[in-house]
Structures are given as structure tokens and as C-alpha cells.
Structure 1
Amino acid sequence: MLAGPALAESKRPDADKSRQGGSFTSTRAADKNALRQPARAVRKHQRMDFVLGQAIFEKFWVSAPSTTTASDGLGPLYNARSCHQCHVGNGRGAAPDVEGKPPASLVARFGSSGPEPLADPVYGAQLQTFSTGGLSPEGRIKLAYSSKVIRFDDGEQVSLRKPGHQLDLPHGELAATTAVSYRSALALAGVGLLERIPEAQILRNEDPRDLDKDGISGHANRIRIDGADRLGRYGWKAGQISITAQNRQALLTDIGLSTPQYGESWGDCTSSQIDCRRAPHGDTQHLDGVEVSNAMLDVLNTYVAGLAVPARRNPDEPDVQAGETLFRTAGCESCHRSSFQLMDGEETISPWTDLLLHDMGDGLADDQAEHLATGREWRTPPLWGIGLAKTVNPEAGFLHDGRARTLLEAVLWHDGEAASARRFVLGMSAAERRQLISFLESL
């Protein structure tokens, strides 16, 4: 399993607040390409693999057969033709607009309320909204929202969007036991560093029974593989153990591409989708008998793992510093932790996450379990790079389904274990709210 690119010799922890990714911090200007930069710590001899991986990440796949066997195998059912189509500029997915078509970055995931992530017997693990050849797509997402007005103590109001999406399913209804979860694409900056945080550092922040009585009861997700429980780090519910595992799953369910580990050339098609399983495929002998060979997957992993973390902007400005103080006073850092030491012991990074699962309340619940994660629990997402979300993708949304159009909206959806922090924010003055957002925008 590839754990990410080898690094040049680590340096001592950098006291500069702007370098939240340590030697993985990019000093590039804060523009639309800010999240597409290679980390300086990626070794020179791996730069070519990084470039090749970027080409695969941004490649538009075509249906088989074609004259370019290294680019065919799309589908037969799929959601996007490339990784980049969902992760625009390596950033977050778009905030779905009720008046338009759902973006490629929003998918309907199928599972169950039980501990095992069971797929729907007809539609599989995910609704694929596009198809190749003469096949019909599985269906489409019909966007719908209602409004929820939140009032601050000073009288100011904010209108939140509450999703009420529906599925148009021409091939029949979902099984009665199938739970639907709408998921938007995550940002990719710094994901290689998350794999290098020692497991012990993550687990020491667990407090599933809230023994310290602070209202926070985070716990790790565990995925059983070959008889052993592995720590989940990636995905909205920490359901994947590594970048490699996350990439394999995305290739299969989002694009319909087979890998040596997931050899199904038909992607997410179930046994009841006979025509889909009989459709032409791109499995090729010189590509390890599949559509994405181990060599292709390796360079893709190198690219994703080698992406830099953007430098913070203006961390010493008074409003930003005041906002950071408010962030900590509200208790946000109980989950969005600012400091981890990497495995080599020489660098400290600031991802603003604990990588643990937390109950976020009824408003964000999707009733879909994932291994040890319940339908009310979500992994704390890293905040580094969040201030550039709209710069990289002006249509970017926040939270697991992109419902929040602004950072303030995202904060106001917090509940459950974050109810106390939310209550603190509701009591802030308008000036303090601006300072809090200034801090988040600096990350």
C-alpha cells in the first residue's frame, strides 16, 4: 500500500503560523490554482510521477472500445468522466443550485442504518446519473430545499437551506432498508499528511463516553480488513483507511473503472443490471488486465498525496487573531485541533481536525451508518485551505452535501456535540462574527 510520496529530509517545526502544512506548505499566490501545487517536500525524482498522476486525475475517460486503451473503460454507469470534474481545482464540490442541474460533485450514496455499508440490491452503492452506449442512467437527483431562519442574539437573521432532495428512479424503488446520503466532493489539499499522523496521536483524543464532561465524545472509525481493525482517516465518515483505498473506491463508483483490487469492469452495476454487466469494457492485458493498472494507480496516489497545503494569509492581522481567540473560546478546537506531530517527529502541522467521528445533531444526520459511524456522526473535516474554497471554485459549498453557501452558514448547522459552540456564536456581536470568519478565511 502506498502511503504517499517519500519526503526530503524534514526540518524542525516552523514557528511561522502561515506554514500550516510544514514543508508541505505552498507559498504560491492565493489564486484558482492554489490547491494544485506540489509540496516542496516531494523528492525531485518523484516530480515526474506527480505530473503523470495529475494527468490521470484530470483525464477525461471515454467508453470502450477506443484507440486509446489507456483512456477507455468509462462506465458503463458513471457520475463523472474525470476526478477533476468533481474536485474542481482540487477544491470542494459546488453548492447545488435548486434552479439548475445537480453538479457532478454531488452524488447519492446508498447504504443502511446498520454497521455494514450494504449497497442497494438493484442500484448498488451509488446512483450513477450518466451512462455509455445504449444504456440508460440509473436515475437523477431532483434538487429541493426549504428555508430555515436562524436569529442571532443581536437580532440579525440568516436563512439556511435545508435539503429535501428526491430521486427519480425509472428502474424501480430502492429497497426498504436502503438509506440515502447525499455527498459532495471534499478538498484534497494536504491529504497526504493526514496519513502520516501517528495513530496514537489520533486515538489519544478519543473520549467516546465523555469522561471529561465537556460535551465532546469523539471516537475513531474502524474498518475491518483481513480480520484486523484499521483506523479510518478519509471520507466524510472516515470510512477509508488510506489515499489508495479512497482512490480505488472513487474510480470504481464515480467513473466506473476497474483496478487490480476492484476488478469489476462494470463498476457499480449489480447482478440485476444484466445489460450493464454485458456492456463493452476497457480491461486490457498490458494494464494488468484491468482499466487502471497498478502503475497508473501508483502515480495517481503520488499526485494526491503530494498536494501542498496553502499558506495562511495574514495570520497576524488583529481581526484574524481576534477571530482565532473566539474560535478557541467557543470550543471549536475541541474537534478542529490545530496541532499534530508527524511520524518522523520533526514537523508539526496544523490541519484543524481530530479525524474522529462526532454526533452533529439531527439537522445534519443522514441515517446512514458506515462501519462504526452512526447516521448522526461525521468525521471532523480539516479546515486548512478552507479560506480559498471560493477562490478555487466560486460555486463551492460547505458541509457533506454542499448545503451551506457560506462559512457562517456551515457554522450554524453545527449541533449535537457542537451545540455549545453554536450557542456561543449565536451570542456574538456582528463584529465578532466578522472576526471569526476572517480567521477561517485565513486558513
Structure 2
Amino acid sequence: MATDFKKNPGRTGKEGRPDRAGKTGKKGAGKKGRTPRTGAGRADKSGETAYGRLKKALEPYQKTLETNPEDAAAWAGKGSVFLRHRMYKDSLKAYEKALEIEPENPAYLYEKGFALLQLNREKDALQTFDRLLGIKQDHDKAWNLKTSVLCRLGQHEKALAASENALASNPKLAGAWHAKGTVLSDLGRYEEAITAYDAALKINPNLARAWEGKAFALYSLDRPVEAAIAYDSALKINPDNAKTRVGKAMVHLKLGKYKKALEPCNKAISIKPDLAEAWYCKGMILAGLEKNDEALGAFERALRIRPDYPGARQARNSISSKLGIDFDEEEDEKETEEEKPRARRSFWTRKEPTSEIVKRSRGQEREQRGGAKRGEGTRKGPKGEGAKKSGWERKEPKGEGTKKSGWARKEPKGEGMDKSRGQERRQRRKVVRKNLGKGGEKKK
């Protein structure tokens, strides 16, 4: 499976800087200029943290800008440091400051375009590269990055023309040959893509992404053995590329070597757990091993990472039908529930019977007690004298032996009870008057 060039464009920048083309042991790929992805607080072998290295690298530019805030080179230097530490937003701000001072500097425009590309702002990046190429038409690296921008935007024919312009400016630019191969591969022109990748590898045999692109083209042409060799070459250069591992697993899968395919697939997941393609690949392998329950879980994981993954959805539905699970119906039910949420009942609301049998039995009970059926004047009828009932009582006539509601308020019984309550009230009034008479006023 080829590296997604549209998402991870190659870069051929200045020497001494970490760029994707120089990950192979060339200048810019050493430990000195690179920042480990293990966090700003973790120290390297020298005991220095990433934050410490960043602060140290920025210090000379900060001092220059304190004395001269209009120094464009100092702003560009800050931008370069931020780029090395993958702080693309800060880098973009620094290069924009530099361009305010020197608006037509090709180097600053190129770096700004690269930062925008890393921030997935393709349209802004395209405008920046067009502006740069208007100043310097033969800027091969700008044409190369413009190719990747157009690829991301799905404009493959324009991307192919941009790669041709890059090669016209510099035929020995390996990144441009790789870019051309990727565009041709996206267009389904795999034989031509292999020719372009071979040209890139002739210039730079250690260009891992060119080996990966060639492997994918061979795989697409149903040449799995050659594809496996190309993937192995890519992994020798860059063993930590999860997509390359997935590509190798897919080759073994195509050859029917399911157990052998599982190892690179699991390795890819350990490198990048949120790679949907790796989980899809694992699901296909497990399905081939007839472990349908585990395969279903892998496809579900792929869809959680990327819900719009058609291959994973189709494979999941195929496996689920074998297991007797219909995900489409479950999804429809979920959508219906979301569209029509259930009305929440009050805690005190009594649930009325919905079954016809229960309704009839209730009606018969009322008739036996001498009351009317529901709907025959019992609901919201006119209330006469003494018709008002307690708030907790049911609105049903009570016959002999009728069980009272558990919520019914107890009413006072008999005249004696009324007299005793009246006496208590009168006694309390006397005590209050007595207290008022003693103190002149009631104590607070």
C-alpha cells in the first residue's frame, strides 16, 4: 500500500534540516537537528529536553529581534526552528512576519507554503506557491510542493503538469519523480508510475517512499512477489512506517498467506493504533482464518476511526450476515431513536393502561362499583358541592370495600376529631396572648 502522498508530501528543503526526503541518513536526518516525538519533558542522552533545545535554538534570534524587530532574517530563523520542532502554527506566524518586511522573498514564501501544507490549508498553500512561482518561475521545489497540493485537492491532471514543470526545472530532483509517480498511480497508470519511481530511485536509492510507491503499483498490477521485494526495500530504510507494514501484509493476504500477513499487520497497529487501514487489513486476515467474531471487531474498530471507510463497512456487513447480525437495521433504529426522542414522564405521573384487555377489565370494575366507564362523563366533568377531592386521590367513585390509593391523603374522621383540633388551636392562642401580656411584645 503506497504512502498517501496527498497527505504526506515529500520535501526537499535546505541541508541541515529534517525533511522527509532526508530520513535515510543524509544531512538533516541526524539526531542533532531532529526532535523526538516522545514529549517536551523527556530528556535525550545528553540530558537536554525538547523544550530546552527549542529555547536554546530560539535564543540568538530573540536577542536580534529585541534590538531590531524589523530583521526579516531573524523572523525567518525563528520560523525555521519552529518547523524543525513541528510547531507549524508558530512557524507560519514567524514567516508571515518576515514576509511583511520582505514580501517577495522566495525562500520565505516557500517555507510559508510548506507550513500551510502541514496545517492542511491547501488552498492557502496553493496561493502561496503560485505567488512564489510568479516571482521565480523555475523554482523546482515550489513546483514539487504545488504537485502535492493539487493532489490533495483532487486535481490530478494539473498535478501531473506541475510535476512536469518541476522536472523541467531540475531533472535530477528525486522528489519530483516520486511526485509524478504518485500522480500517475492515482490516475491508475501504474506502468508509467513504476517508470517514474525507478527514475527517482536511480537518483536516490534510499528514498523509502519511492520504494513504497513502486510496491503499491506492482501490487495493483497483480505482481505480488515483486511488490513484496519492494516493500522489504522500503522497510529496510524506514522500518517504523505503519502504512508500509500494512502494504506488506496486504501482499501476503493476496498470496493467501494469512498467518504470515498477521505479523506485519500487528506491527503496524503497534506503531500507529489509529490507522484505519491497519484494522481493515487485520479484519481481512482474520476473516481468511475463519475467525469471524474477531474479524467483525477489527472492522468495527476501523469504522470507529474512519466512519466513511466503504471497504470496511462492506466487509463488516458481509461478516455480520454470516453471524446473523444485521447492522443496517440496528443503525436505522438508532437513527429513528435520535430523530424521535422519547418524551420523559414526570416522576409522579401515573401510567395509564395501554392494553385493551386491561382497559376492559378496568371498565368492568368501575361498572361493578356503580361508576361510569372512562369516557362517559368521568373525565373533566362539572364539579358540584363537595366534589373537590384531595390532590393525591384517584378520580374514581369508591364502592364498598374499594382499596384506597397508596397516595390518598388521610381525611379527618368524625365530629370529635374536629372538636379536638379546634380546642388545640384555642389553647395555643391563649398561650400566645399570655406571653404577650407578660413581656409587652412577643420575643423574637
Q: TM-score, normalised to structure 1's length? A: 0.20
- Point out which structure has higher relative CO (alpha carbons under 8 A, 6+ apart): 1
Greater gyration radius: 2
Q: TM-score, normalised to structure 2's length? A: 0.20
